[in-house]
Structure 1
Amino acid sequence: MTIKVVPDWMINLEEEDVKFIKNFILSSGSLKEMAKEYDVTYPTVRLRLDKLIQKVEMEDKIEENSYISLIKRYAIDDKIDFEAAKILISEYRKHIERTGINE
């Protein structure tokens, strides 16, 4: 019986992200090859990789609470506007400071 262990930094990645990582490895880390495979420009692949790097870095920041991590993840995934994410996080932090409650 084999037990699969998923590193913490991969837990919240979407299936598309994992496929991208696999393709990146199989292309020996060549962004030019990735651009050909996905039929997009090099800058598009670079942007995708940068967003993935942000996701992984965010998962490494354990000190932040789950709400802030969720908002950041939504912004990175373009599910909410970056400016809206900044406002939500700022208002949440103000609320925490006023109430002392960190849920």
Structure 2
Amino acid sequence: MEKENSPAWLNKLEREELEFMRQFVLCSGSLKSMAKRYDVSYPTIRLRVDRLIQKISDVDQGDDRFIELVKNLALDGEMSYETAKKLISTYRQLERR
């Protein structure tokens, strides 16, 4: 697929991320198989998938810097997902006013 015909989210991915996605498909989406293939723990693969999901979501949603910061803090384990969701939800409600 030519770059100009690719979706925006796909163009934002690094070569390593694209290869990770390819391996994920070849492993039939099994995180356990991915952990074996990369010789890392299941939580490590889960974190990598979460970060990839976040990166794709950010492109699709066009999130601003505050929301990106909150999401990254949650992904890095510096705050819970529940807290991040509450902060983002409240922030979006305040933006609508």
TM band (smaller chain): 0.5 to 0.7
- Structure with greater Cα Rg: 1
Bigger helix share: 2
Question: Match of 2:25, SS?
Answer: helix
> In 1, Cα distance between the equivalents of 2:6 and 2:21?
14
Per the alignment, residue 94 of structure 2 pairs with none
Cα distance, 1:22 vs structure 2 = 0.6
C-alpha displacement of 1:17: 0.6
In the superposition, the TM-score normalised over structure 2's length comes to: 0.61
> RMSD value over aligned CA atoms?
2.5
Matches for 1:19-98 after TM superposition, within 5 Å: 19-62=19-62, 64=63, 68=65, 72=68
Distance 1:56 1:39 in 2: 25
Greater RCO (CA < 8 Å, at least 6 residues apart): 2
Number of aligned residues: 70
| Structure 1 unmatched runs, 5+ | 77-81, 83-103
Structure 1: which 4+ aligned runs deviate by more than 3 Å? none
Q: What secondary structure is seen at the aligned counterpart in 2 of 1:20?
A: helix
Counterpart-to-counterpart distance in 2, 1:14 and 1:24: 15
Distance 1:61 1:11 in 2: 15
Structure 2 unaligned regions, length at least 5: 73-77, 79-97
Quote the sequence identity (%). Answer: 45
